[in-house]
C-alpha cells in the first residue's frame, strides 16, 4: 500500500517541506517528478568539462561493467538528461546522454531511492546493485550531495563497501543560475585524500 507522502518528489521527502522550499525554483521544477507515476522530464545543456586523472584509467574497466563512470574526456560536450519515474516503485531514474564528438552516444544510467529521510540520505544505484549513499542538503538555493559511502545491494541486504579507500569521496551540486529562472549549473568531483582529484565534470543546463 502507498501513502500520500509517497507521491511527493523524492527530494521533498528527503529534505522535508522547509528544505524543499529553500531550493531554487529551477531545481524544484526539474525534480518535481512524483514516485509511483509516469512523470518524466528532459533537460539539455553542455558539459564545460568532462575530465579524469591518468590513474583513473585503472578503474575504467570495472567502472564500465557497473556503468558507474564516464570513460571519455572532452570540453563543450552536448548532453541531455532524461529523468523519469515509474508507476511501480518510488525510484527516480536518470539517463544521462553524453554526445562526445566522433563517438556513439554514451549513456550513464542510474536510479535513486530514499535511504533514510530522517538523515536526509538517498542511495544512487547503477548496475548489479552497486550504490552510493549520499547525504542531501539545500544550500543557498542549490541541491548538494555529499558522499556517505558505497553499498552493494544483494536481495534485501545492504552491504557496506569501503570503495572510498580507492576511489575517494564524491561531491555533487546543482545550483540555479542567478537571473535566469530556467537554467542551472551542475558539477561533480571525486577527490581522494592521497591522490587528489580523480574525476570531475561540470556544465550548464536548461529545462526542456
CATH of residue 14's domain is: 2.40.128
What is the count of structural domains for the chain?
1
- 53: Cβ–Cβ under 8 A, 6 or more apart, which residues? 195, 196, 197, 198, 199
pLDDT of residue 6: 65
pLDDT of residue 167: 87
For the stretch 148-172, what's the b/e string if a residue is b when 16 or more beta carbons lie within 10 angstroms of its beta carbon?
A: bbbbeeeeeeeeeeebbeebbebbb
What pTM does this model have? 0.92
pLDDT of residue 5: 54
Give CA–CA dist 45/29, Å, rounded: 16
Instruction: Give the domain range for residue 116.
Output: 4-207
Q: Quick one: the chain helix, strand, coil %, rounded to 5?
A: 20, 50, 25
In this structure, are residues 37 and 12 in contact, taking their beta carbons and an 8 Å threshold?
Answer: no
Residue stretches of the chain with pLDDT short of 70 = 1-6, 208
| pLDDT tens digits along 42-54 | 999 999 999 999 9
Give CA–CA dist 27/142, Å, rounded: 7
Quote the strand ranges of 17-91, DSSP E: 40-52, 74-84
Phi first, then psi, for residue 70 (nearest 5°) are -90, 115
Amino acid at each position: 500500500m502507498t501513502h500520500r507522502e509517497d507521491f511527493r518528489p523524492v527530494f521533498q521527502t528527503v529534505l522535508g517541506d522547509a528544505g524543499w522550499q529553500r531550493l531554487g525554483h529551477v531545481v524544484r521544477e526539474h525534480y518535481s517528478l512524483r514516485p509511483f507515476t509516469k512523470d518524466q522530464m528532459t533537460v539539455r545543456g553542455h558539459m564545460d568539462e568532462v575530465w579524469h586523472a591518468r590513474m583513473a584509467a585503472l578503474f575504467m574497466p570495472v567502472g564500465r561493467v557497473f556503468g558507474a563512470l564516464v570513460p571519455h574526456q572532452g570540453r563543450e560536450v552536448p548532453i541531455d538528461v532524461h529523468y523519469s519515474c515509474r508507476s511501480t516503485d518510488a525510484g527516480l531514474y536518470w539517463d544521462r546522454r553524453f554526445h562526445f564528438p566522433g563517438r556513439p552516444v554514451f549513456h550513464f544510467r542510474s536510479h535513486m531511492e530514499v535511504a533514510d529521510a530522517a538523515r536526509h540520505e538517498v542511495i544512487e544505484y547503477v548496475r548489479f546493485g552497486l550504490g552510493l549513499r549520499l547525504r542531501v542538503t539545500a544550500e543557498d538555493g542549490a541541491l548538494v550531495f555529499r558522499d556517505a559511502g558505497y553499498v552493494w545491494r544483494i536481495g534485501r541486504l545492504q552491504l557496506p563497501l569501503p570503495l572510498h579507500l580507492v576511489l575517494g569521496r564524491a561531491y555533487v551540486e546543482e545550483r540555479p543560475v542567478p537571473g535566469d529562472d530556467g537554467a542551472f549549473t551542475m558539477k561533480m568531483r571525486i577527490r581522494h585524500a592521497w591522490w587528489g582529484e580523480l574525476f570531475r565534470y561540470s556544465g550548464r543546463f536548461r529545462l526542456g
